[in-house]
Amino acid sequence: MKKLDPTSLFDKIYFESFALCFIILSFHEIWMLICLLVYLIYVRKKIHVKRFISMIISVLSLMQIFIYNEVDEYIELEVKVVDVIKYDTYQKLTVKDGLNKYHMYTYDDKLDIGDQCYIKAYIEPYDHQRVPFGFDPYNYYLSKGVKGKITNYEIIHIKDGFSIYKIRNDLLSQIDEKYVRYLVFGEKADDDTKHIYQNLDIAFLLNVSGIHVFALMIGVKKICFNFNVSDKNRVIMTCILYGVLLYLSKFDLSILRLSISYLIIIITKKYSLKIMSIDRLCLTFMILLLTNIYLIYSVSFLMMFIIILAIDLIGPIYQKQPILIQRYLTSILIVCVLLPFQNHINLIYIVFAPFIMLYMTFIIYPLSVLTLIFEDMSMILRFTTNLYENSLVYMHTFSYTLRFHAFNHVFKLSIYISFVYLLFSQNTKQIMKRIIILISILSLPMIYFNHIEQDMFYMIDVGQGDGAYMKLDDKHIVIDAFKGTQAFLENHGVYEIDYLILTHSDIDHIYEAQDIINELEVDTVIVNAHDDYGLSNAHIKRYQANDLIILNNRTIKFYNPIQNLNDSNNNSLAFKVNIGDLDFLFCGDIEIEAENLMIETYDTKLKSDVIKIAHHGSNTSTSRKFIEKVSPTYALISVGKNNKYDFPANETINLLNQYHIKTYRTDINGTIIYTYKFKRGKWRYIL
């Protein structure tokens, strides 16, 4: 009988791995099946059919067992607390019941990691994406194995339990150094550190690539070599160190990838197996996927695979270059690979990336590990990190960031194809042409959104608050700014705002106003004449009834405040504007007192096709008389899902139904969109 060669099991497994990636992507975007078909036709003679079928069956079986197993809406069972994240006023618990995990939010600290409790509760799934290019809670938490959140729960009894992370948590509670907590334990960076890192893309690169851990292992290898440590003992020491780092970081994905890859190298050397690096990479990711099938929903997992794959495939092109040139080219490569996910390029990062990463990987990270072992090292760590952060802040003052519209999957794929096309350039002329093609693809969505698309209006799903955007010809106008408004603007490539209209000073309308003023270019901030907003660094104009904003071929007319009613809500700015073929009336948070005053003053001039319902649909607003005067066809309500105020009020909804007014609500419909182009208006929503 012919002896089976173990190497043949993994030889050129990357062909099947790439095909499997297309299958996984098709779970998110069905059109990726077309890419899969094209790819399979192209490599049909190189695919190992039995191996490929086995991979597909394995993935689908695990998905059926872990992901698609049915979750009851109501449960009565015992769960175990497997994770605790504490916030200022509450804590988020992750509890596990057999194969399923859920989040449970509490306002006390009765439960700790490892505890077991019997509960009666309802399970509510997380929402899918509700804002264009926005955060998708459902996929994000599912990538971590969490299938929903526990609501209306009753804890019957609690019993103390054991957690393997008890030692880790006790050790973490004694650590004050933020870099030790951040780099070694995998805790979130504080806001100041995160802001510096995000501006220069450093935290993102560290979390995805694990380059700092890889550098530490290289250092350990060199130390073992200098002290004549045997290969066997060196392998044992490295495995132990990987194990400790995995435990302290709660099996961080980047460290886990490095650990598995290292074990594969050891095994292949021990049994003299010849496996190409690209096959080892694909095998590592297959092991990660099969041991945690929820990773098919993880963007970080996908980015990690793309980054490491790109470095592996393109690295040989510049291996003969000096080490500094290699660092520069690698940093540029990583920026290009991450670009479709980040939609910006920080030029200062490209210039200084090698020095930044060298300092982080060979100085700060090793010092953080040593500080965990030797407390006296904390002073040295603090000095080096202060020097590091001050340098980053200084560099940031000179930084210039190229920003783009966020990309959908079609554009992401087009960018990668263009990038690969660029790499195969044969001469300078081809390079320049292909760079122009790449830049055109990057710019097209932003050009279309900002300059080609005609009138548009977005009522952004910001939760229990208000935030809206409209583009009228070439004017960009933002109305109120609760949580998520700034992210919406940046994701759509809107960095210059002509008017920021803040109806009144309540926090659910101006939460992100100062950040938008600081981070984006705001020409004019419109506030009402009788309110104190506490804003700075802005060109502020105070408006009241009968004031106008003159645009190119239309005006925005204000109908409130008519007089000072000594009430924040009633002093809200109310105004009318034509968008496409419809007149929109925005009412801020005005209540019946202001409505009556507007009726007395303007009567039938209030007539509008669309009304933005005041005060999130509260019964203190939207009187029958006001609705009759406005006589709208459509009503818009900005309101948070399952909000504690029970908005919108039943009385308001019943009134709108009585007058047969088509009502869109952000809690039900997500982000509500009205666009007008080619002399035709269209309503749609994102949910």
According to DSSP, the residues that pair with 673 across neighbouring strands are 458, 684
Provide mean pLDDT across the span 512-517.
Answer: 96
Percent of the chain at pLDDT > 90 equals: 43
For the stretch 201-210, pLDDT in tens is 565 666 666 7
- Please give the pLDDT value at position 320: 74
Is residue 426 within 8 A of residue 449, CB to CB? The reply is no
Give the separation between CA 490 and CA 518, rounded to whole angstroms: 13
Of the candidate ranges 66-70, 311-315, 418-422, 505-509, the one whose mean pLDDT is the lowest: 311-315
- Please give the pLDDT value at position 1: 41
Q: Output 617 or 308, whichever has higher pLDDT.
A: 617
Give the separation between CA 89 and CA 395, rounded to whole angstroms: 36
Provide mean pLDDT across the span 115-135.
Answer: 90
Give the separation between CA 460 and CA 481, rounded to whole angstroms: 10
Is residue 142 within 8 A of residue 129, CB to CB? The reply is no
Of the candidate ranges 156-170, 198-212, 651-665, the one whose mean pLDDT is the lowest: 198-212
Provide mean pLDDT across the span 574-594.
Answer: 96
Contacts of 514 (CB under 8 A, 6+ apart): 535, 536
Strands (E), 531-647: 540-543, 548-550, 555-560, 574-579, 582-586, 610-612, 634-637
Provide mean pLDDT across the span 611-615.
Answer: 97
Highest mean pLDDT among 61-70, 414-423, 499-508, 675-684: 499-508
pLDDT over threshold 60, residue 268: yes
- Please give the pLDDT value at position 416: 81
Of the candidate ranges 243-247, 295-299, 307-311, the one whose mean pLDDT is the lowest: 307-311
List Cα–Cα distances, 333 to 197, 214, 329, 339, 358, in angstroms. 19, 18, 6, 10, 17
Provide mean pLDDT across the span 396-422.
Answer: 80
pTM of the full structure: 0.86
Give the separation between CA 185 and CA 167, rounded to whole angstroms: 12
Give the separation between CA 561 and CA 543, rounded to whole angstroms: 8
For the stretch 199-256, pLDDT in tens is 555 656 666 667 788 888 888 888 888 888 888 899 999 999 999 999 999 998 889 9
Average pLDDT of the chain to the nearest whole number: 87
- Please give the pLDDT value at position 277: 86
User: How many residues are given for the chain?
Assistant: 687
- Please give the pLDDT value at position 2: 47
pLDDT over threshold 60, residue 192: no
